[in-house]
Structure 1
Amino acid sequence: MPDEMQQRAGLQILICDPAGPPLTTLQDATDLIGAAFLGAQMIAIPADRLDQRFFTLSTRFAGEVMQKFVNYRLRLAVIGDISRHLEASSALRDLVHESNQADHIWFLPDLDALDARLHATT
């Protein structure tokens, strides 16, 4: 499936194709944000599309990508199993925990969890 705009819990969300291109640079993030400017309020991207540097906080790639989404006032949901990354990094565990407490960037296991979270916050 290509990336597609979907209405979920009253929000327009760009649901990214798991087989789509990886997000490996800040330009890739900017391009994804540009695609969302067709009306999306949130982007849901599969964790597998994120470069491994995203999950190694010392590279600062995650922070730069997340800041770009914040700057454009676009919410981000990272969808998928990131347990192996969490097991390897207490700093990443802390980041995910803090992010999931807020409303702008979430790390969720699947689209069902995204739907549940959206319904709980509306």
Structure 2
Amino acid sequence: MNMEYLKVDGSDIAVVSSDEKIIVDVQSALDLAMSVRYETGASKIVISKTAVCEEFFILSTGIAGEILQKFMNYHVKTAIYGDYSKYTSKPLKDFIYESNHGHDFFFVATKEEAIQKLREMG
């Protein structure tokens, strides 16, 4: 796992990349958030969709909801970037839509969009 620290317009943002799955369950997501905060001081995380397990995108597993709740409880804002076009689930599309209209968790196409979205959240 690689972690890049950015300070953009006063926002501390960690950009995390990996060739392996980093988020595979709620505990691994929480471990990532705490590692980022400890190592960089950032409470905003940009992560590639490729580093997130596929079960996250199957809402019936409950993983996505639990992770979002934990991140909100710990005041961690996150943007996951990647291609979501292969997903046809209406509940997932609704979940992504609602998340993108909130203030804590975002699904975007590119790393640059992810950084911009988190920068806008102040």
Short-chain TM bin: 0.7 to 0.9
The 1-side partners of 2:71 and 2:120 are apart by 22
Of 55, 58, 64, which residue of structure 2 is paired with 1:56? 58
What is the aligned partner in structure 1 of residue 13 from structure 2? 13
Q: What is the TM-score with the length of structure 2 in the denominator?
A: 0.87
Matching residue's letter, 1:99: S
* Distance in 1 (alpha carbons) for counterparts of 2:5 and 2:104: 18
Question: Is residue 92 from structure 1 mapped to residue 98 from structure 2 by the alignment?
Answer: no
Q: Percent identity?
A: 31
Deviation at 1:17, TM superposition (A): 1.1
Q: Runs in 1 of length 4+ with deviation above 6 angstroms? A: none
Q: CA RMSD in A?
A: 1.8
Report the Cα distance in structure 1 between the residues aligned to 2:15 and 2:111, rounded to whole angstroms: 9
Corresponding residue for 2:2? 2
> Paired residues, what number?
120
Q: Give the TM-score taking structure 1 as reference length.
A: 0.87
1:72 counterpart (71, 74, 78):
74
Give the gaps of 5 or more residues in structure 1: none
CA distance in 1 between partners of 2:23 and 2:117 (Å): 24
SS across alignment from 2:2? coil
Unaligned runs of 5+ in 2: none
